[in-house]
Amino acid sequence: MRKLKISNGDTARLNAFNLKSIWKKRVSARKVVSVLLLILSIGAFSQSKNKYVYFEFGEYNNAKTSRFVS
């Protein structure tokens, strides 16, 4: 098996390509994280709404929201 000869210019090009792909991956990871945070914040908001409903209606909504109240 022959070794591939790579000149300095080619390695620089390869490194730049790797950096670009890593940056793209990092950006996509950031997007995923931001979407997850958005979903989590919406979930927390709905939970706080349910607590408010629970305190507002007491016995009526007891079965539904008992899991939110520790």
Number of domains in the chain: 1
pTM of the model: 0.32
13 lies in some domain: no
Domain range for 43 is 39-70
Is the torsion defined by CA of 13, 18, 21, 23 positive or negative? negative
pLDDT in tens, 11-46: 666 666 777 776 677 777 778 788 878 877 777 666
Is the residue at 7 inside a domain? no
What local confidence, expressed as pLDDT, does residue 70 receive?
A: 41
The answer to whether 69 touches 54, Cβ cutoff 8 Å, is: yes
DSSP category for residue 66: T
